[in-house]
Amino acid sequence: MTEHPTSHDRRQAAAPPAASGAAMPEDAHGAVPDPRTDLRQGPGPAAAPEPGPDHRPRPTGHEAEPHPSELPATGLPAPLGRPADASATQRPVPADAVSQQPTTAQRSSTAQQPTTAPATPLPATAPSEAEAIALAARAGERLRYVGAATRRIARGIDLDEIVLGLCRATVPTFADAILVYLRDPLPVGDERPVDPVMLRLRRTDRIPEEADTETRLPLLPSGPDLSPALGGGPAADLCEVHSGGPLAEVLRGVRPVFGDSAAARAALPELLGEGRTVAMGQRSILAPLRGRRRVTGAAVFIRRPDRPPFERDDLLVAAQLATHTALGVDKAVLYGREVYIADELQRTMLPDSLPQPTGVRLASRYLPAAESARVGGDWYDAIPLPGNRVALVVGDVMGHSMTSAAIMGQLRTTAQTLAGLDLPPQEVLHHLDEQAQRLGTDRMATCLYAVYDPVAHRIVIANAGHPPPLLLHRGGRAEVLRVPPGAPIGVGGVDFEAVELDAPAGATLMLYTDGLVESRIRDVWTGINQLRERLTETARLTGPNPPPLEALCDEVLDMLGPGDRDDDVALLAARFEGIAPSDVAYWFLDPKAQTAGQARRLARRALSRWDLEELTDSVELLVSEVVTNAVRYAERPITLRLLRTDVLRCEVGDDVPQLPRLRQARPSDEGGRGLYLVNRLARRWGATRLSTGKVVWFELAIPPVVRPTPDSKV
């Protein structure tokens, strides 16, 4: 029969040499539990006694290290010491062990008896005091490194910054070389990943072969030669993860593994490519990058053969770095998707290109508040109107969110619809104000609406709480137009006032949002004066000729300093050219039966004066049809206007609001063929409802003028 040691013997072996104070609790067999004992070691020799109440780290040998499958959830190394007070070391005593514990008298009598049993020898792996202090210092350094590295990774916003942060935090502090693979394409959110799973080498980094480790080799998107850390040439740029293969098993396991493990030896050739190897032994770590929902890639940490190999604690460090990198990749992918949505929303809300109406040239600019907030509520627009007129609009919805952009899109659509009705500017702002109130009580915006008439060389402007426009004259003088400020859109119950001003040929109208002239370091009127001075200086450089419109917009934006970009900037510039009076023919005609013949004669004379006799037959036919239709229903005098620009445009206006519709006349119908002829012969045609009636117009292409050469013979 085997003799077991008594409880007294076990207590003598486990008790500290200089123990004093309250007795330590015992387990069911009378032994004192040691909180530092590794649970995976099983039965074995008792733990080494603590020399005193100071904190002692646990052994870090292979037999005392946690297995990769037992890594803490946080990824940090396990605590290296335990507090010396009783509250930190005591465990609850089982109920069935209370009766087995000796009384105080028994313990006293036992302590007075001489000990005959030999003392239990210390384990061979027990570190000395100096070794324990060194291990604790190394563990502290490892924790500080992990904290600094994860902070550096977390600072990144986009994908490149996060991957670069991992490389910079790893090389050369933790590894001599690193390869970072990411899925291609990266899944976003709950999107179903694309099959098969492909990993693309996103970035590499390594210590240069020179002694100066502060110098970095250029980082390349594909793997450079990592020799001597990586043998067999550069790593493969693209890798397919085969379902059920060794690489898929490692990625599914999530835990980092050493390169000399059986799983890594089979997975690394699949990842790096055939013929590529890494240094043998524990000189490489393969760490899967797992985000919130799925594995997004893998990282390979490599050390050279002449450098110390990785330790088992380094698996914890690699797990922490991989976890933070994967979470950062998820964050960057989601952020990139939001930026894409914001860009698409902003792009669709603003016009792709500006129209090129006759008599005015247009240019525009838009700048977001910052790269991180690319969506806002600023907008601009140019809308062609009947009679070669054009509506110029600029507005600003409060805020820099998706909601602001959505409200801006609704207001811009409303403004386009109202402009199509050819309402006066003050009426357009009134209806915009009503629309903003229907969207919500807190939907506020500023807007400036102007209508330019190139024939009359006049402009009508109405303002709703927006900064006043600037007019740069042909001679170089810039002035702030005196426009009633009005109340912002959305206030409600406010009347808007419009003013009519001269728009001389060669002048430039500058419409803008407050982000151009207002910032934290200057008020709005200071910015307006600076803008006026900048326009004057730019015009002075070109002399009597007005400055080029595109270059003028760039010069205006250059006035923004580094601290002036607090808001979005929308800029719309209009260079007035007008239509010369000699290119316009205008008549008032009474609605009589003889009016159609009179309109044909007037049009024939105008074409003869403009040397456009080739268009006489077509113009007389179309004018006769449109005027006849107007005379049939009009009660007031009708208008006939011909304009010669790059095309010949004819406009007929009356006081009837109903718009004509193109239809197919039956053989028995006596009428209904006039618009059919217009549609067949005209280059373009249309009808626009006005506040006083309607205008029906059509355009004909002007034949090119053939000029004889000097050596031609008649």
The residue with tokens 């239809």 is: 663
Count of residues for the chain? 714
Distance in angstroms (rounded) separating the CA atoms of residues 613 and 158:
65
- Segment 529-578, tens digit of pLDDT: 999 999 999 988 887 888 999 999 999 988 876 555 667 889 999 999 99
pTM of the model: 0.62
Regions of the chain short of the pLDDT cut 50: 1-120, 122, 211-229, 232, 706-707, 712-714
pLDDT of residue 374: 59
DSSP class per residue in 151-205? HHHHT--SHHHHHHHHHHHHTTTT-SEEEEEEESSPP-TTPPPPSSEEEEEEEEE
The DSSP H or E segment spanning 231 is: strand 230-231
By the 10 Å C-beta count (0-12 exposed, 13-18 middle, 19+ buried), 222 is classed as: middle
- Identify the CATH class of 584-701: alpha beta
DSSP assignments along 256-315, one per residue:
-EETTSHHHHHHHHHHH-TT-EE-SSSSEEEEEEE-SSSEEEEEEEE--TTSPPPPTHHH
Contact 198/181 with Cβ under 8 angstroms? no
Residue spans per domain, the chain = 131-206+227-339, 350-576, 584-701
How many Å apart are CA 445 and CA 428, to the nearest integer? 14
Alpha carbon distances (Å) from 676 to 28, 327, 451, 663, 681: 107, 66, 32, 7, 9
pLDDT score for 135:
81
Element (H, E) at 141: helix 129-154
Phi/psi for 431 (5° steps) reads -70, -35
Q: Are 591 and 637 in contact, with CB atoms under 8 Å apart?
A: yes
The predicted structure's pLDDT at residue 565: 66
Q: Which fold has domain 131-206+227-339?
A: Beta-Lactamase (3.30.450)
Residue 602 φ/ψ region, left for φ over 0, alpha for ψ in the -120 to 50 degree band, beta for the rest? alpha
Residues 466-503: pLDDT tens digits?
999 999 998 889 999 999 988 999 888 788 999 999 99
> What are 150's two structure tokens?
């994860």
Span 350-576: which CATH code?
3.60.40.10
User: For 519, phi and psi rounded to 5 degrees?
Assistant: -155, -175
Q: Which of 325, 316, 282, 311 is nearest to 145 (CA)?
A: 316
* Residue 337 amino acid letter: R
Q: 449: exposed, middle or buried (C-beta count within 10 Å: 0-12, 13-18, 19+)?
A: buried
